[in-house]
Amino acid sequence: MTDSVPSKCAVNLAQSTCPMDAVLRLLMGPWTTYILWLLHSQGPMRFGALRRAMPGISSKVLTERLRHLEAQQLINRDYKPTVPPEVTYSLTGRGASLKEVLDGLNVLAQSWAKEDAQKEPDRDAA
């Protein structure tokens, strides 16, 4: 008897052919899921608004993440050649398909935050 992995999920460390692995690698990049969450929860946003909504991220990293998400067809970059240039980011249909996942993560995050807040007084008593 041999252990086998379904052909759709054959894992090669150099290049994953498993769809789940590919999606998780994409979403787990630094700041990636948070950018998607902001665009999902707040709608289209300009670069500066995204930067202000994400304390701690540098302009360089934000630009890299946005370019990566655009290359993966998860976000649109709408450029208008005004002075100064107006660039607005929004979710594509593919990005919007993450709605249930992002909403589920939000429910989990809110639940965990509530649990952690209830545990805080216990730490002070110790």
Rounded average pLDDT over 27-40: 94
User: Residue type at 107?
Assistant: V
Q: How many C-beta atoms surround the C-beta of residue 44 within 10 A?
A: 13
pLDDT of residue 66: 97
pLDDT of residue 102: 94
Which pLDDT tens digit goes with each residue over 54-98?
999 999 999 999 999 999 999 999 999 999 899 999 999 999 999
pLDDT of residue 10: 42
pLDDT above 70 covers a percentage of the chain that reads 83
In this predicted structure, which of 14-18, 22-26, 108-112 has the lowest mean pLDDT?
A: 14-18
Is the dihedral angle over the CA atoms 107, 67, 71, 23 positive or is it negative? negative
Q: How far apart are CA 34 and CA 63, in angstroms?
A: 14
Q: DSSP letters along 61-124, please?
A: HHHHHHHHHHHTTSEEEEEE--SS-EEEEEE-HHHHTTHHHHHHHHHHHHHHHHHHHHHHHHHH
Q: What is the CA radius of gyration of the chain?
A: 19
| Confidence label for 21 from pLDDT (cuts 50, 70 and 90) | confident
pLDDT of residue 123: 57
CATH of domain 17-120: 1.10.10.10
